[in-house]
Structure formats: structure tokens, C-alpha cells
Structure 1
């Protein structure tokens, strides 16, 4: 025994001329000591024996010189092994910490998966950095007229050809349809029925611009996009795999597309989902010049109809600023040749015409613009949850560190440097966070699938993979390292401040001190952040409730929407009047059907047709109004009520005078207060209004494009009546405005089999009449609130998680405080303190921390943050006092519950037993 202590004293008193060698010496001693600890020895015995086992200080130093090259790696491996042993020994702590952290890391990884796929990811094409889009806004689908700000992103076919000829700075300049359309397709010489598929009409150099190679077959060439060329198509890889099991014979086969024969030339490369991220990526790509015949689209060759997006690949060394100025001038020259910019008003608008060149590597970013603000908000929210989780783990580590003071004291007494101990403890924290990150990837996978289901309900082909990608894995690993350092540094530093004298004491001694200032500060921070998330969730819930409670002036009870495409089924505009009468008769023959509405589009469908309006006898104020075609039963089928005059009737046919029914906003916009609009006429703007339409009635305002679109002037015209201006300009065979897009069925009771009946009814009329989409009216309306509902649900979920973590953190610190103050509580009770006073003492401490978190940090920060989410809330300005009150009371109640349990335990302390533990 004397020899052991002399050896130890010699080690502690020896000079240390070389700090690096002393650290290496300590490394070998600690490595040996930990092997003894693993064998069951106490830390004191293990360290004493480790010093003796090396046989003296000089032998250790000699050995350290031999192993110096592997010193760092050996230390790291030793720290990791020791960390794993410590985590294995403290299983309850490890499980709690891993579950807490994995939720925080998994939530961040899930949100980042969407952020990466939607906001950060380029198209899967060659060298996306050299792609440039002409334009920076998103519009749909066919536009005409002058833009107020002069900024254009849609172009006519002639504009595209003009730029191709006069902008040699582009290696290639591709054009693509602005809206993903629907066509009816069926493979020839097979038993499959015609079905709707998504399609996109593109230029012949479309795939070449993106640098793509076919999976099999060939892609488009310029010769495919020539008027009169044979009809060809390129099929997407997903459609080829999902519908035809990768059958190579698909290439070269004939498909009937909108009743026209089309040859499949090739399969697009795997992973390519088109020029934009969409929940309905194209199944078939078709040349632009085939659109007039396949889709009867007359706007393809009308100079003032803008319908194309343009993306080009610029040559090396081209400067963007001069190119943008040149493209703007070329666009002005092209626009000047159209009728829109020929009058005085048009000439003034022409002077403002310009384009903005934007990066084209991510394609047309319509989904990005739609989801950007909400995804960024969710990243901040998930980051706050992770911060709360880190604070919770830091508190657990601080408590755990107090229980390891004896071990740290022994290591310090044996010569371990403080930096060495901090490094070991920090390694344990990082190992713990990496394990949590691995578990968090499982949470992220499930969370991403949930997010996709919430963001794109019912979508089957969203090109976003829920599986963690390399970027997501790197993100999760980086977050794990960051959190390990974040919650590990302070506890490691505090724990390392062990007093070496404690190692020589034969017993342990409890202290009367409670939680440290750092622990209390972490609880204050958790409470404040939890309140911020609770207030945010409450504000979004309030906003969503306001949206849902908007009176849309629609009746969705027992209403069903059947989208169909008579044009794709082969009907010409001259044939649709007979078709619509047949549809009405067949559906009315179904028992229980009360109304059969037929229209171009329906309310809350995210569609809008509009045109300029001028009241006869009034000057042209360049005002617009939306318009909808409908049959005699359409207004009743969607629940729109006539207020003045009459609605559309069966007498309003293709041969009767042109009439229109207007809504209240139309009357307010175009007529003076109290003026009766019935009998007045309006038409297209011009020096003198044509007065084509006679107003026969006024209906109440109803929601159409959006529930929040206020003062939405609209007019309704009979389904089969031609617009007089169109009738004057083109024959009926080219009047595509006569095509309907939806059937609204109103039944006297809910009918579960109405979808199958609808399919059978249309197929009986014509096998090519397929149901493009079927929804209840309630489902269609609910789809317009998808993003708001997603953010609200996630905010609520994150706030509940934050509340749970904050409550657990407060409970843990309060329990630890009670355990540390056992002797003090025993003395108080021995001196006459009753149970209620002990409970009150503990509860005051717990509630004080929560109150500080709420008053000093939580409420001011929440008040400040609401300003940044106002733009995403409906009719909300500033903090809602009701939401703040409810959030504060909820957090206070949770804090009271967390503090009451340890307080009751403290009040049950046996004074004599507590004093004996001292």
C-alpha cells in the first residue's frame, strides 16, 4: 500500500517540461484505469492501480514516445469507446436523451427534405447553371392584353421565333406550354380503355436544351415540331414503368391521343420530371405544332396570345445585364406588331415592356413561389423545437455531471488536465447526438411522407422522394454534430471543475444547494420558446378558422364535381350543344339526381377566365372581369342565388340573343349606386363598346378562384352561346371557348356510388368520354386550404412537442432540486415546517422560472414574431390577446403540473431519515 501511494505522489509531484508528453502519459494511465473500471472496480481503486501497473513515470514516458504517431487516433477511439460504455451503463438517461433529440433532429431533417426538393434542388439536367429563364413570374395559362407593370414572362409563338432568330447568345432557346394539360390517351391494338394523362406541349429542341438523352428510343428533333409533321410523343419514364412495366415495345407503338394517332418515339430519361416541380408532372410530351390539331388550340398561332415559357442555355462568357436589355428590346419589337399595342393606350404600355432574366437551373418555379414562405417558416419552427430539445438534454447532462463528480475528482487528482476531461465529456455528447441523428433519420422518413401527404393530398406522382438523400444525410449529420456541441460544451466545462480533494474523501456529502443558475436559465429559455410556438400555433389556428368560416355563398351539400374533356374525346365545337343536352338527359335519368350543371369551370377550382369589359355608353376604363360559361341548371347546382332579374334558362341557346348574368361586385364596379343594371349592355373595350351582352339578372357574390379574393367582378353566359366578338372573328369549328370542363351533380341525398355511375354514364355516351377527375364539392373547396391546413397542423404539432419538452425539463430540474435539498427539507420539517409550506416553497421556485421565461422573454418575443407571420394569416393584424392568454395559461398549467409532483414528494420527506443521509 505504501509503495502505491509513493508511486502516485511521485507522479503528481514530477516536473512537467513537456505538456504534450504529460497528456500522452495521462492518456495511458486513463486507458488502463478505464479497463479496470469496466471490470468492476471503483474509479479510485482503478486509477491507483493504473499508476502502479505502469511501473513508474519514466516507463510511461518512454512508452508514450513510441506510440506518439497514433496518439490522437488512440485518444479519439478511447473516448468513443468510453462514451459508449457510459451511455450503455445509464440506459434510462440514454433512451430519454435519444428520443428527445431524435424528435428534434428528425423534424428538422423532414422539413429540410422538402426545402431541398422544392427550393434548393436543380432540375436533373446537364449543367443547370448555364440555363437562363426569360422572365421571373409565374402565370397561367393563355394571356393577352398589357401588363400594368410591363414585366412579362409569357410569350406568343411568334415572340419565341423572334428571339431564336435574333439572340445568338443562346446555344438553345426552348419553349414550353405554361400550363400542364390533360389529354385522353389509349394504346392502339390493346384492350385498355382511354384514360386521362397529363401532357405538355414543348419545342423540338426542348430535350436538347436540357442536354438529355433518351432512356430508350429517341427524343424530339426540330423536324418533329414543324406544321404538317407526323404526330409523335415522348413518354415519361414513370408512365412507362408504372403503366407498361418498362415494355420496350411501347417505343414505336401507336397511341390514340384525343382520338388522333400518335407515335411514341422514345422514353424520357429516368428521374426527369419536366421543366418544373409539379404534383402532376407530364406523362406525355408533344410538339407545339401538333397542338392545334390534337388539342384544337387556336392560340398557338395568334400573335397576341401569350402562352409559352422560355428557357435557354447561354453561351460561355455572356454577360446577363446586356443580354437582358437586348431581350427586352426584342420583345418590345415583337409586341409592337400586335393589335394590343397599336392604339394610344397600347403604345404607352409598350414603353414599359421589359423582361427579367432569372436562373433557369431549377426550371419554372411556380411551386417554389407557392411554398417558399411556408417552408422557410417551418424551418424556423423546427429549429426552435430542436433548440428546446438541446436545452433539455443540457439539463440532463448537468444533473448527470453532478453524479459523476467523484469520478472527475479522481481523474483530476491523478493529473488529468481539464481540457482532457472536457474533451471526453464533449465526445460523449457528440456520440449521443449522432446516435440520435441516426434514429432521427427514421423520424425524418416518416415525417417526410406525412408532409407529402399533407402538402399534396391525393397526388400520386409528386417527384419528391421521402427517402433521405445524400444532401439530407449530410444535413442530419451536421445538425447532429452541432447539437452535440451546443448542448454539451457548458455541462462538460462545469463538470470538469471538480475538486481533486473530493477524491480522497471516504464518503459522499449532499449539499443544500439546488439547481445551478445555468439549469434555471435553460428552463427559462425553454418556457419562452414554448410560449412563442404556442402563440404561433394559436394564430394559425385562428386564421384557418376564419378561412373556413368565410361565407362562400355556395352550397356544397350533396354536390359532386365531375371533370371531363369533350374536346379530347373528339367532339368539335359544333357538336357540343347536342352533347350537353345528352349529358343532362342521361344524368337526370339517375334516381336521386336533382340538378345537372355544366360549366367551363367551377368555384374553388383554382381556375379563372377573364376579359376586358366596357359598359355601353361609358368610356373605356380598362377594367376586367372574370367570366364563366354555364347551362341553365349551373347556378342552382352550385348554390348561387339570383337577386334581381333572372338566371340562365333553357331558352338561352346558340341562336338566341347574347345575354349575361352579373354578380354584385360587377354591379358595384361598373354602375353607380342605386343604378339598375338589368337591361344594360356591355362588351369588349374599344372606342365604342360593342354592347354584345344584355344583362338579364344579378346574382350574389360567390367565391371562385379563392376564398379571400374580394370584390371579384364576374359575369355568367350561357354554355352554348358564342361570344359575338369570337363569332365575328372565327368560324365555330375554331371556337374552343364552347368546350365545358365540369359537370356539377346535385343529388337529393348522399350517394356513395355516384362516381361509378358517372363513369358509366359518360362511357355509355361515348367510350372516349372519361372522367378526368372526380371530387365532392366539399373536397374541392377543402383543397384550396391545403397549405394553410398543413402549416397549422405542423405548428400545432411542434408547439405540443415544445410544451412537452419544456414541461419535462422543468420537472427534471425541480426533481433534481428536491433531491439536492433533501437535508435542508428534513431540517425544516424537523423544526416544524408543515407539508403545505414545503409544497409552496418548491412550487414558488418552479413557477418563478416559468414566470420569468414568459414575462421577460416569451411574451415580448412572441409579440415581435407575430409581425413576421401576419402576411400568412387571414385578416390578422398584430397579436391576438385571446391567443396569448390561452397560450400563457396552457404553459402555466403545464409548469404547475411539472412542479407539483416533485413538491408532493418533497413534502413526504421523513426528517430523521433525511438527516441521517448527511
Structure 2
């Protein structure tokens, strides 16, 4: 029934009741009853008009809606009367709900959402599996030859496609500067395997994926917009990649970034790579994506490929780099990689933060309910039902949670915007956004928070003994023993959860500091690095590349302020990438199928001095241009692992089909921060003359000042050659530890927020208790209690739940720390220094939060306190 119809009926009912009552009163007068007695007699005969009105009204109205509306209005009035409490409660809820919603959105977008490909559950990433030296791994990248055999012989996959991430130089045109871009090589059927079509233009064809075909390229949506202004006319136009012409055939959708979020170009792999590389069985460099046939499981697919690999391995037993098995992972699991566990740890941390927020608000509500105990007891005495009063408390909590949820959603928006800017390189970051599911999750969290906090507050005031409640309220003793105990338990739980978060944050922070301070085996201060890649089209011969490097290094070393400069294919902190197998000529032959391997680098003679890598024994390269790699320098770990108890100098390694004499031993370096140094063999840059590498410059001045002069030198030597990844060594190491930095920053932020919430909870509850016990404190002081005794008692009352919570939290952290073991570097989950620091911090904050209310209570004027009662 519509509201205006209900109002009309209410008015009609009111007139009818008044008319009936007047008739009854008239009859009483006619019966001889006079004046006021006639009216009272009419009321007795007629019954309670209010009750009749309510019962009749309930027949045609939605009484429960009206009841909720009354509760809503009452809650709003109540909250307006206490703005301080209301603002604090809303802010606390907003922090807890906002953090939870933001992390849920990230976890859902990265880990839970299906990939935006056709039937993504059937897509798997494939690897070669087997032993390499003393190591066994199931996730090796795949050789071109093994991929070809899998594709030809398998019966489990409807399609197999291959990819490799590379970097290419995009030549400048129309006044634009050249730039180095992340690119990917695709087999022609990769997009068909994934089930993706270009947003503009066409896909690769088999004819495009051939060494004799004209070069073709697909652009990313971002590159198309940024570099070409979103002009559809770019289709069928020619651009230069590494000085070679490529025809733009299409533009990919904005969300497509496979296989890496930074990929901006895609070109056909067989057009780019030589046939020898694509048929090699021991040159592992490709990622292979497979689409399982309907009805085939991942295990069946792996078994099929493993049989093929075993046959190939048996036919090449003399080559240790031909693996004998295969393995697979769902494509989603491969793409999210190692961020799965940190994200779930952070989500658990936000759940703890939300629970702390709810406990905080519940504790404030319990203390506030104790202050209103007399009012509630009077309302109960006047006929207010317990369920009715509980309904009002729940509505009040719902209002606080809803307001906190709205503000929390705004905070989540801001946090996700920051995340998209700070971690644009994170896998699937474009899938992270607030949608209907997240909104529904937010509503659910709001309801749970209201229910949790409201039930605790409501049951804390569920005493139905009205007279006892009135007497207890009048004595102002803090709301009773049971309620005081409840407040202490809530505070204890809040402090315990805070301790767990602080211990986790402390462990990650100490781990990150250890990681950043790890000895890289080289100088990291005053060093700048720059990446260069010489295109084969302009630097086809080793002599051309060697001349370029020699000329560049000569001009760079002549710059004022440059202390040293060198060049190497990879520098510490840039990853492993390249390794090679070898044999030691002076050692007995290895069993068939066994081989030794180490990381392989090329460097110029002055590279070691520029990077501060010590020459432990022997010498560096003599600087003479070598026609072949007949000299090699090894690292200390190489010497320890492969020449135990003997002098490696003068010994020979058989590598790359020729013998190289060991002329020097240098210190170990870490090419991946936080990992144990691996054996490395260095060859002269002139002998290998790689077309990609890193220039390093060391200076006692600010190294970043050399970025522009070096770029000008390179531009003068080759105007279409881009210089990329211009980073100091500290920036390079920071980039390689950004995942750990991100995780640490967030967990420290959550721990700090929880500490603030715990302090607010202690301060708020102690303030309420002090206000409730005003009369008691006044009587104590009037009877002779010293003020310092009052302050000590109040302080101890507040510190008791903090200390118990600290003990509970530290105990729980013993188990929680073990769950973080994989995220820690060179520290134990039970690190005593972290536990001690957390305990000291928590106790200091608890004392600070309790001391102000305790001091305020001890300053009470007993006469004013007694009169206030």
C-alpha cells in the first residue's frame, strides 16, 4: 500500500477512534456519571486507544519498514550528539574496509579473474625438464628444435606456439628520437592459440613467419597512441626496427601485453632467428604455449611431450643440454609467477587490519553503551523490548559501517590508482579495477562489520535485570564487571592482531634491508649503466661492432670526470640469461651425457676495473684484438667448484668448439640480487663481439651527469641508435628488488595503521572508563587516595589488556612467521631482534595511549566529581 494511502487511513482511524470514545463518554454521562469521571470510565470501557491504533495500523502498513525508519532516525540523532565518537568510528572503519577492498580488487584482478583469452583453462605454459650438471629443474625454457619436434609429433594439443622476449631499436622519424622497446617474437600461430585478434588490421600468417618473407610487425595499443598518434593510416606503413624495414599489419587491443606487461611490439620469430637456432636442441631460449585438446588433461599432455623428449634425448646422449622430459603449468599461474604468495599474505594482513578496526569500533561501542546504561535500563523499564533495543544498536553500527564503507571505497580508488602508476610492470595490472563484484564485496564487508561490532555492543548491554541495572548505572563503576572484562578481551585481541602485523612487517623490513645491502661483488656507488644494442643490418660483422665499441669507450673515457669506463654483455643485477657448457681439457673426459656449465659473459679489458671487480690472480685481457676466444677469465666460485685443490691458471677450457686458456681469476659477482653467486666465465669482448651489452661509467662525481653527454656521443656515432635503461647501479638494484620493496612498504603501512588503531582503541576506551568512574575516583581522592596512586591504578588497568595481547600476539607470530619463510632473505622467521623491537614499540605506544586519560583522571576535583553524580 502506498504511503499516502496509509496516511489517509491513519487519519480516518484517528477520527473514528475519537468519535467512538466520545460516544462512549456520552453514554457514561447518560448513565449518571459526571465530568471527568465519565471520560475515565469511557477510557476504561473502551480500552487503550494507542494500543488499538497500533494494532489496527499494523494490519494495513509495513510495520517493520516503519520500525527500521524510526531506528534510522534515532541512530542519526544519537550519532550527531557525539560527533567525536562518530568521526573516529567512521575513519577506523574506512581504513579497515578500504584496505580490504583494495587488496581484494588486486587479488581478484591478478589471481582470480580468468585470462582474457578464448577458453583460458585449456592454455598451459610448457617447459623442458631434466638434469643440467648437478641441478634438476622442471621449468627450463624450450629449444627451437624441441619445440619443432613437439609440434610435429604430439597428439594432445590442438596447437603449440612459441614466444621470446627481446629488445629492438625503433628508428626515429618525423623528428622523433630513436628508442629501445621491449618486443616479443611470436610464431605465426600464437594469437590463434591464445584466441586473440588484433583490434586493427590482421594477424600474422604462416607466410609472414619465414626467413625470406618481408618483415611484419604488430603494434601495442599504447605504442600506437603514443608514437603514431592513434592514426589508423599507420597500417601497411613501414617502420625501421634495428635498422631493418617492417610493415605494420595491425594494432593489438589495449589490454593485450603477452608475454610481458612492457611488451610493445610483436614480430614473427622464424623471420628473425636463423635456421640453425630454430632447429637447435641445446639452445634453450623460448617460451611455448599449448592449447589442450578437449578431453585431454594437463598430465596427459605432459606425458605425451615427455615421451617425445625422451626419444630425442636418447638419440643425443652425448649432449647434456638435450633434456629428457617436459612439464607444464596453467598459463595464468605462469603469468602471475611469484607474486601469488605475497599477494595472499598482504590480503591476510588486510583481513587482520579489518578485524582490528571492527574490534576497535566494538570496544568503543561497548564503552559507550556502558555510559548509556542508565538510559537503556529506564527504556527497558518503560516497556522497551530487548530485541527492539538491539535493533537500534545494530542500525547504529550499520550507519557507521556504511559511512566507513563509502569512505573506504574512495580510499580504495585512490590506492588502486597509485598501484597502477607505481607497479605498471606488474602482470595483469590492467585487470585491476573496481566493478560490480567488488562493489558487492564492499557491501558484504560493510554488513559483516556492522554485524560483528553491533552484536558485541548489543550483547554487552543485554542485562534484563532492570533494577540491578539502574542501581549499577547510578554507581558509575564503569558498566559492571562483565562489561569491563569484555572490553579488556576486545583490547587484548586487538593488540594481539596488531602484534602479528607488526612482526610480519618487521621481518619483511629487515629482510629487505639485508637484500639491499647484499654484497654484489662490485662497486655500486658512483656507477651509471646504459644499455646498447647494435642492429645487425648496420653492424653485420664482428669488426664493425668492435670498431664501434672501441671508438665509444675511447670517447667516453675522455669525458672530464670519468674515472673508468667499460663494456660487458651483462652487469651484476641484470639477471643471468646466458650460460654455456664446457669441458676442462686437462681433466678426464666426463661420462656420456654429462657436461659442465657456467654463466658466460663478454667484457672489455677495463670492465673489471670500472666495476671494481678485483683481479684475485693472474691478469685481465691484454687489450689486443683477438680473432678467437682463446683467453678466458673465471670467477672465484668457478675456480672453487671446478678446480678444487688445484691451480686453474694455465688450464684450458673447451668451449664454443675451441680451447681457451685461463689467464685470470676475478671476484664473484651476483647477477641476481639475493642469490648465491654462480660460476662465471668471461671472454674478451673483441673475440665474441656481441651486438648487445651495457656500458658502465664510474666517477667520483654524480654519475648521472654523464647520461646526456654519452647519449650525444652515441647519436654522433649513429643517429638511429637508441640508448636505453640509463640507470645508476643503485637504481638498477632498486629496480630488481621492487617486488620486495612493494610488499614491504604495504605490510609496514598495514602494521603502522594497526598500531595507530590499537592506540586509538586504548586511548578511547581509557577515556570512556575514566569518565564512567568519575564518582568512584572522586570518592577515592576524598577518602585520602594520593593522585599518583589513582594514576598508577588507571595506567595498570589500561596496560593489562595490552600486555596480555602482546603475549598472545607474539605467540601467534611464531606460527605466522613460518608462513612467510619464502619471502625472507638471510633472516629467520623467529628473529629475536624483530620480536623484541615489536614488543618494545607496542608497550611504548600503549603507555603513551593510556597515560593521558590516567593523568586526567588523577587531576579530578573530588567535590566537582561528587556533585556531577
Partner of 1:571: 539
Matching of residues 773-812 of structure 1 within 5 Å:
773-812=725-764
In structure 2, the residue matched to 1:431 is 399
Match of 1:693 in 2: 660
**Counterpart residue number, 1:667:** 639
Structure 2 partner of 1:66: 60
Cα offsets for 1:217-249 (capped at 9, x unmatched): 222233322342222111111211222232111
Tell me the distance in 2 between the aligned counterparts of 1:312 and 1:881.
48
Report the counterpart of residue 599 of structure 1 in structure 2.
Answer: 568
Gaps of at least 5 residues in structure 2 are 1-5, 15-45
The Cα offsets for residues 701-720 of structure 1, whole Å up to 9 and x where unpaired, read as 2222224314x211211002
Counterpart of 2:141 in 1: which secondary structure?
A: coil
Contact 1:550 1:707 in 2 (8 A): yes
Q: Which residue of 1 aligns with 2:230?
A: 246
Root-mean-square deviation (Å): 3.2
Cα offset for 1:407?
Answer: 5.1
Give, in angstroms, the shift of residue 516 of structure 1. Answer: 1.8
Rate the CA distance shift 1:412–1:833 in 2: closer, same or farther, 3 A.
Answer: closer
* Corresponding residue for residue 913 of structure 1: 864
Q: Distance in 2 between matches of 1:508 and 1:432?
A: 29
The answer to whether the 8 A contact 2:636-2:667 is kept is: yes
| Counterpart residue number, 1:208 | 192
Partner of 2:647: 676
* 1:642 lines up with 2:615 in the alignment: yes
Match of 1:588 among 537, 547, 557: 557
Would you say the 8 A contact 1:408–1:496 is kept in 2?
no
Secondary structure of the 1:692 match is: strand
Give, in angstroms, the shift of residue 475 of structure 1: 3.2
**SS of residue paired to 2:627:** coil
> For residue 38 of structure 2, what is the aligned residue in structure 1?
none
- The answer as to whether partners of 2:370 and 2:478 remain within 8 angstroms in 1 is no
Q: Distance in 1 between matches of 2:48 and 2:230?
A: 69
Q: How does 1:95-106 map to 2 (within 5 A)?
A: 95-106=87-98
Which residue in 1 is equivalent to 2:600?
A: 627
1:881 paired with 2:832, answer yes
String of CA shifts for 1:397-436, please: whole Å, max 9, x gaps. 1122234445544554454443333233223222321221
**Could you tell which deviates more after superposition, 741-750 or 512-521?**
512-521
Q: 2:766 corresponds to which residue?
A: 814
Name the residue aligned to 1:899: 850
Most deviating of 897-906 and 747-756: 747-756
Residues 315 and 76 of structure 1: is their aligned pair in 2 closer, same or farther, counting only changes over 3 Å?
A: farther
The question of whether the paired residues in 2 share the 8 Å contact of 1:410 and 1:503 is answered with no
Number of the residue aligned with 2:20: none
Rounded to whole Å, the distance in 1 between the matches of 2:789 and 2:398 is 42
Q: Given the superposition, is the C-alpha separation of residues 297 and 638 from structure 1 closer, same or farther in structure 2, using an over 3 Å criterion?
A: farther
What residue is the counterpart of 2:357 in the other structure?
389
Summarize the Cα distance change of 1:569–1:847 in structure 2 as closer, same or farther, 3 Å threshold.
Answer: farther
| Alignment of structure 1 residues 172-571 onto 2, 5 Å | 172-177=159-164, 180-186=165-171, 190-274=174-258, 276=259, 278-280=260-262, 282-292=263-273, 299-337=277-315, 339=316, 341-342=317-318, 350=324, 353-356=325-328, 358-360=329-331, 362=332, 364-365=334-335, 368-405=336-373, 408-409=376-377, 411-413=379-381, 415-451=383-419, 455=423, 463-464=429-430, 467-497=433-463, 510-511=476-477, 513=479, 516-567=484-535, 570-571=538-539
Give the Cα–Cα distance (whole angstroms) in 2 for the partners of residues 79 and 702 of structure 1.
Answer: 69
Check the 8 A contact 2:629/2:683 in 1, yes or no: no
Counterpart residue number, 1:17: none
Inter-CA distance 306–54: structure 2 relative to 1 (3 Å threshold): farther
Whole-angstrom CA distance in 1 between matches of 2:149 and 2:616: 50
For 2:447 and 2:60, the matched residues in 1 are separated by 33
Q: TM-score, normalising length from structure 2?
A: 0.87
Give 1:330 shift: 2.9
Residue deviations 1:372-408 (CA, integer Å, cap 9, x gap): 2222222222222222111110011112223444554
Taking structure 1 as reference, are residues 208 and 706 closer, same or farther at Cα in structure 2, changes over 3 Å only?
A: same
Q: Alpha-carbon deviation of 1:504?
A: 9.9
Deviations 1:32-60 (A, max 9, x none): 9xxxxxxxxxxxxxxxxxxx999332332
Deviations along 1:678-701, whole A, 9 cap, x unmatched? 11112249xxxx771111111122
Cα distance in 2 for residues equivalent to 1:738 and 1:426: 71
The alpha carbon displacement at 1:264 in A equals 0.9
* Contact 1:336 1:342 (8 Å CA) reproduced: no
Task: Mark the CA change 1:645 to 1:557 in structure 2 (over 3 Å): closer, same or farther.
Answer: same
Write the distance in 2 (CA, Å) between the matches of 1:604 and 1:207.
33
- Out of 559, 573, 581, the residue aligned to residue 612 of structure 1 is 581
Taking the aligned partners of 2:444 and 2:538, their CA distance within structure 1 comes to 57
Aligned partners of 1:150, 1:332: CA distance in 2, in Å? Answer: 16
- CA positional deviation for 1:526: 1.8
Deviations 1:653-700 (A, max 9, x none): 223671111121111111233x32211112249xxxx77111111112
C-alpha separation between the residues in 2 aligned to 1:656 and 1:807?
A: 70
With over 3 angstroms needed to count, the CA separation of the structure-2 counterparts of 1:72 and 1:911, relative to structure 1, is closer
Change (3 A) 1:53 1:475: farther
In structure 2, which of residues 108, 115, 123 is the aligned counterpart of residue 116 of structure 1?
108
Output the CA distance in 2 between the equivalents of 1:585 and 1:461.
41
Secondary structure, aligned partner of 2:142: coil
Deviation at residue 167 of structure 1 after TM alignment: 4.0
| 8 Å contact kept, 1:405–1:498 | no
Distance 2:220 2:144 in 1: 25
Match of 1:36 in 2: none
TM-aligned CA deviation for residue 793 of structure 1: 2.6
Shift of 1:562: 0.7
Over 3 Å counting, the alpha-carbon distance change for 1:85 and 1:453 in structure 2 is same
Change (3 A) 1:448 1:322: same
CA contact (8 A) 1:54 1:60 kept: no
Q: Deviations over 1:86-111 (max 9, x none)?
A: 43443222211111111122222233
Q: 1:558/1:878 Cα in 2 relative to 1: closer, same or farther (>3 Å)?
A: closer
> CA separation in 1, counterparts of 2:679 and 2:470?
87
- How much does 1:896 deviate? 1.4
Residue 721 of structure 1: SS of its match in structure 2?
helix
Select 1:708's aligned residue among 662, 675, 682. Answer: 675
| Cα pair 2:209 2:270 within 8 Å, conserved | yes
How far, CA to CA, are the matches of 1:512 and 1:798 in structure 2?
A: 32
Over residues 501-536 of structure 1, what are the superposed CA-to-partner deviations in whole Å (9 max), with x where a residue is unaligned? 69999x966346566211111111122222222233
